[in-house]
């Protein structure tokens, strides 16, 4: 228990951007192991808090079937529905079929409920670990290219403290509660981690921290644009086929 509490305090030091904590983590012989355990513990805590909050939301919300039926009835009551029904007698049946398919997809992919909440307890720490490893690897390569001197294990040990900002996600234990600004604060904490791990000047540490996320953001924007164009094309083809 004492070990878990000490790791939790270490995560709080990371959240509070304590440079000494980052330096101690860099120089600790078991820094990498502590970082792995820290990210895992925070992920489990956030996942469990989100599960409790999601179950509270699920219990207080109307059923998904009632919501879908209300939307369905509202759409059918709109003027455009009557106009299209007059032009094509088969349109109401086609509309009901498409609406039912879309509703099934949304219900299958949306969160909520016991199964989705329990899954989040497992996936949250896994996603945090994967994100930590990917970011730490990219930041290490950038930092070394800019003159950094830390070993790969030291970079990972320090960037693990940046996961401390996710402690704020525990607020999700309250139904409908959300926390904002963790991404920006996480980048600030990562900047401190890279700077202290590699003893880099401020601007070098900044670029080592930001280049990786910037490249990833550009890739995601490109993929999103491709997805939007493909989706528009598929919808247009479906509408032309229906007419």
Which residues of the chain are under the pLDDT cut of 50?
1-2, 111-112
The residue extents of the domains of the chain are 2-61+112-242
Q: What is the pLDDT of residues 49-94, one digit of tens each?
A: 888 887 777 777 666 777 788 888 888 888 888 888 888 888 888 8
What are 190's two structure tokens?
């990562």
> What is the predicted pLDDT for the residue at 76?
83
**Residues 135/184, Cβ–Cβ less than 8 Å:** no
pTM: 0.71
> What is the predicted pLDDT for the residue at 234?
66
> What is the predicted pLDDT for the residue at 1?
46
Terminus-to-terminus CA distance in the chain, angstroms? 66
> What is the predicted pLDDT for the residue at 39?
93
Residues for the chain: how many in total?
Answer: 243
> What is the predicted pLDDT for the residue at 93?
86
């Amino acid at each position: 228990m004492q070990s878990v509490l000490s790791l939790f305090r270490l995560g709080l030091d990371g959240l509070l951007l304590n440079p000494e904590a980052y330096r101690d983590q860099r120089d600790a012989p078991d820094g990498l192991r502590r970082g792995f355990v820290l990210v895992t513990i925070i992920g489990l805590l956030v996942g469990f808090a989100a599960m409790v909050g999601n179950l509270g939301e699920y219990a207080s919300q109307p059923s998904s079937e009632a919501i879908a039926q209300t939307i369905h009835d509202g759409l059918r009551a709109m003027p455009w529905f009557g106009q299209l029904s007059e032009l094509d007698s088969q349109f109401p049946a086609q509309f009901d079929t498409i609406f039912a398919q879309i509703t099934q997809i949304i219900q299958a992919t949306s969160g909520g409920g016991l199964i989705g909440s329990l899954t989040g307890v497992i996936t949250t720490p896994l996603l945090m670990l994967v994100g930590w490893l990917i970011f730490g690897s990219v930041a290490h390569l950038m930092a070394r290219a800019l003159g950094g001197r830390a070993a790969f294990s030291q970079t990972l040990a320090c960037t693990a403290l940046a996961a401390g900002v996710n402690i704020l996600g525990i607020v999700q234990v309250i139904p409908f509660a959300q926390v904002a600004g963790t991404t920006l604060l996480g980048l600030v904490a990562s900047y401190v981690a890279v700077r202290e791990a590699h003893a880099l000047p401020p601007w070098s540490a900044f670029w080592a921290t930001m280049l990786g996320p910037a490249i990833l953001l550009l890739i995601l924007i490109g993929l999103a644009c491709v997805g939007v164009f493909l989706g528009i094309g598929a919808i247009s083809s479906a509408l032309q086929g229906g007419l």
